[in-house]
Amino acid sequence: MGGGVSDVKVVRHFRQVLLWPLQLMPLSEGNQIQRHWEVLRASGTGSPWREAPDGFAGDPGRHQERRYNELVTFLPYVQRFLYGEGESGSSPMRVFRRDDVAAVRLTPHEGAVPLVLSVAHVALYFFFDIDVVVLSVEVEGDHMPLATVQDVLYRFGRAYPAGWDESGRGLHSMHRVDWLGEDGALLAGSDSGDRERFLAFVARHRVPRIAAHWAYLLAPLVQAQSPEAGDIRYRQIEYYRMPALVYLAMENPRALSRNDFVRLGLITAAGEGAALPFAEAHLADFERQYCYDRFWTEAGDGSDGGSTRYMCCGHGLVVVGDARWPFFTDANRGVLAQFHHQHFLIFLIAHFQKAALLMFSDQLVHALERLEVGNPESVKRFKRTIRQRFEIFLRFTHRYWFHDLSEQVLAKALYQLCARHLGLDPLYVEVKERIHDMDEYLDSDSLRRQANTVVRLTVVTIFGLIGTVTTGFLGMNLIAAADEPIGEKLLYTGLVLIATLWLTTYTIIKSKRLSDFLDALSDERLPVREKVGALFDVVRLRGPGR
């Protein structure tokens, strides 16, 4: 795996953080806020996940100093999103971790020597009021050939195989992925070669099946279409390749060719020689579009400063620097510390925002699919759902949506790179317009119904006015029953009540036709014959299709 690489192209230290945003299915219909993390917290000993403590809790020290440096990087409204306020904290982000997975064994091709990487952390990030969860997996390794690193970046973070070759081996994915425990025991392995199982799942559910090793890592969360039991269910919301945050401490980063940087920055497969993975015309502006070279300097041996290049293509954010420069490898105050804290959060926020917007779009489509225009109960449910989506979107806008995370130059530039390549601003505008259009439709429909009600009440009032004036003119009583026995009075009252109810009900039923008659009667351009015809239309029975 990656043999024949020159000594200068050695990655002294490698880290890859995979982020996988998923949409969570409702725990119960009708509730605006679904607290999935509470269900996971209550699962007890049956779940490997444990809620992570507040990063600022505990004794002061280097850990808290790193957290402090992380916090002050961001603007106040981002700080409130990430950390909450006050001693107790009220962050809308809840983090769960599992520590039973210690390593991963990767076999890129059949018969290849497996590569074992340490698993630094596995975490789930939940967000209050937004039905999105992000799985985060960080792996690390030392003294790896560059081609090996490129292969890991390209093949590892795939939720399922893209297809199979003629021998039944999964395309573009690892031949084998095994999660290992602390003692090296096998916890779970991939099944990308089980083509029939993937095909059968797609044939039955019309969605791809999540590979076994990723399904194990998420358990007790289960795929929405899976026959397995589980209270917390998820569905895929983005591309099946997981976004990757990458740190490479190189022996000599200036020795990397343009081909190397292109393959790293765009996370493509390893290649031999100077051949580019795509056409030269397509990559002519690679440096301008994908690279942030503020710190990409002509360094010597790394003792007085090192070259650091940042590359972002949306689904990847790659940091390449000089392993001989102490600041680049410093895990407390250097670039490595920034990678674990500031860079990670920037990448997480950008992909959370995209996933949330895609979730809103998906929920709107789902609401429309369930709408039956002729079913009043379905229409009411549709209106209630759209109103809820609109309210949640407003809260998302004020709590989670921002154009800048920081005024620090590097953090600001990296977020803008991520946002631009992910298309966050156009996606936000599109989703906002869709929700606004649906809300406007509901408003116009309500106004139309109110107008129809007002017309009917007006018609009833007009025709009721005729009887009122007729019977009440000068206080005239048609039947003088003031001195009659109480029984006869009650009889007259009942008869009048029944007649009035019937007449009022009939007027309401015919209110649309009566309204048309009143419009015709008030139109001075219509001849008397048409006005009389409009009057007969009120009592005329309508035939089928009219």
Instruction: Flag whether pLDDT at 42 surpasses 70.
Output: yes
Q: What pLDDT, on a 0 to 100 scale, did the predictor assign at position 429?
A: 92
Instruction: Flag whether pLDDT at 517 surpasses 70.
Output: no
User: Long-range contacts for 166-169 (Cβ within 8 Å, ≥24 apart)?
Assistant: 168/193, 168/195, 169/110, 169/193
Q: What pLDDT, on a 0 to 100 scale, did the predictor assign at position 210?
A: 95
| Mean pLDDT of all residues in 100-126 | 93
Share above pLDDT 90 across residues of the chain, in percent, rounded to a whole number? 47
- Tokens linked to 499: 């007649």
Say if 454 falls within a structural domain: yes
Say if 472 falls within a structural domain: yes
- Tokens linked to 211: 């590979």
Say if 464 falls within a structural domain: yes
pLDDT level of residue 378 (50, 70, 90 thresholds)? confident
Helix (H) or strand (E) holding 345: helix 344-369
Say if 282 falls within a structural domain: no
Instruction: Flag whether pLDDT at 531 surpasses 80.
Output: no
Comparing 222-236, 419-433, 513-527, which segment has the lowest mean pLDDT? 513-527
| Mean pLDDT of all residues in 443-452 | 66
Per-residue burial over 393-412, b if 16 or more Cβ lie within 10 Å, else e, is: bebbeebbbbeebbeeebbb
* Burial class, 277, CB count within 10 angstroms (exposed 0-12 / middle 13-18 / buried 19+): middle
Angle between helices 511-522 and 528-539 (to 10 degrees): 170
Say if 534 falls within a structural domain: yes
CA angle in degrees (0–180, nearest 5) for 271-275-277: 65
- Tokens linked to 273: 């020689």
Helix (H) or strand (E) holding 411: helix 409-422
| Mean pLDDT of all residues in 418-437 | 90
Instruction: Flag whether pLDDT at 18 surpasses 50.
Output: yes
Per-residue pLDDT of 326-373, as tens digits, reads 999 999 889 999 999 999 999 999 999 999 999 998 888 888 877 776
Q: Are 202 and 209 in contact (CB under 8 A)?
A: yes
Q: What pLDDT, on a 0 to 100 scale, did the predictor assign at position 385?
A: 81
Say if 25 falls within a structural domain: no
Mean pLDDT, the chain, as a whole number?
84
* Nearest-angstrom CA–CA distance, 177 and 161: 12
Instruction: Flag whether pLDDT at 481 surpasses 80.
Output: no
Comparing 153-162, 191-200, 246-255, 302-311, which segment has the lowest mean pLDDT? 302-311
Range of the domain at 478: 448-539
pLDDT level of residue 2 (50, 70, 90 thresholds)? very low
The total of structural domains in the chain comes to: 1
Per-residue pLDDT of 252-274, as tens digits, reads 898 899 999 999 999 998 877 66
Say if 508 falls within a structural domain: yes
Is pLDDT larger for residue 315 or for residue 523?
315
Is pLDDT larger for residue 67 or for residue 521?
67
pLDDT level of residue 3 (50, 70, 90 thresholds)? very low
Q: What pLDDT, on a 0 to 100 scale, did the predictor assign at position 455?
A: 65
- Tokens linked to 110: 């059949």
Q: Are 2 and 120 in contact (CB under 8 A)?
A: no
| Mean pLDDT of all residues in 96-107 | 95
Instruction: Flag whether pLDDT at 505 surpasses 80.
Output: no
User: Long-range contacts for 383-390 (Cβ within 8 Å, ≥24 apart)?
Assistant: 383/442, 384/30, 386/435, 386/438, 386/439, 386/442, 387/439, 387/442, 388/32, 389/360, 389/363, 389/364, 389/435, 389/438, 390/435, 390/438, 390/439
Would you call 377 helix, strand, or coil by DSSP? Answer: helix
Instruction: Flag whether pLDDT at 58 surpasses 70.
Output: no
Say if 514 falls within a structural domain: yes
